[in-house]
């Protein structure tokens, strides 16, 4: 998926396996809180969120000769209290691992955005798909700063699509679970 197209996610369905290429931004708990507080306070953001893809990741130290260290996903649920506001501000996709709240699902549908699942424990693999990495905002947060990554063929699964279909609910139903 080319992230530069007008609406690259509208045809995706929960469970689809995809490879994305383009610019994404990392942000974890502390960066989310700072962005949330700025929006709530009516202050100017350091980053325009419209059209952005946010990866819940805190890169590790970069080995010599590499673009990035290990860069696996963190648990998305920790960002649930911040996510609807960021989606309303224009974020078009988020990447993490694990289930999302009903509030996040409703906000994804409302904003025609997508939640992608990244595989936990695959940080070394993901690092091979990052062409460049640079801390650009909230640098004082170290690994929790906002980093700009350029990725190529970054493997993900659609966890929740723009219509609210959730891969976790599908699995639960297929196994007769509540």
Q: Please identify every residue annotated as catalytic.
A: 32
Q: Which residues contact 167 (CB under 8 A, 6 or more apart)?
A: 14, 15, 117, 157, 158, 159, 160
Alpha helices in the chain (DSSP H): 29-40, 83-88, 102-110, 123-127, 167-174
Q: What phi and psi values does residue 123 have, to the nearest 5 degrees?
A: -60, -35
């Amino acid at each position: 998926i080319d992230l530069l197209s007008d609406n690259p996610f509208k045809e995706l369905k929960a469970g689809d396996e995809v490879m994305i290429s383009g610019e994404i931004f990392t942000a974890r708990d502390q960066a989310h809180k700072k962005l949330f507080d700025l929006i709530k306070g009516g202050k100017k953001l350091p980053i325009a969120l419209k059209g952005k893809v946010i990866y819940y990741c805190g890169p590790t130290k970069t080995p010599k000769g590499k673009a990035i260290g290990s860069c696996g996903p963190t648990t998305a649920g920790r960002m649930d209290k911040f996510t609807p506001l960021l989606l309303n501000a224009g974020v078009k996709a988020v990447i993490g691992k694990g289930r999302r709240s009903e509030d996040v699902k409703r906000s994804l549908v409302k904003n025609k955005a997508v939640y992608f699942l990244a595989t936990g424990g695959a940080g070394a693999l993901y690092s091979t798909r990052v062409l460049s990495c640079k801390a650009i905002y909230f640098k004082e947060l170290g690994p929790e700063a906002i980093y700009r990554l350029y990725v190529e063929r970054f493997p993900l699964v659609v966890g929740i699509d723009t219509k609210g279909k959730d891969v976790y609910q599908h699995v639960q139903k297929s196994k007769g679970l509540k």
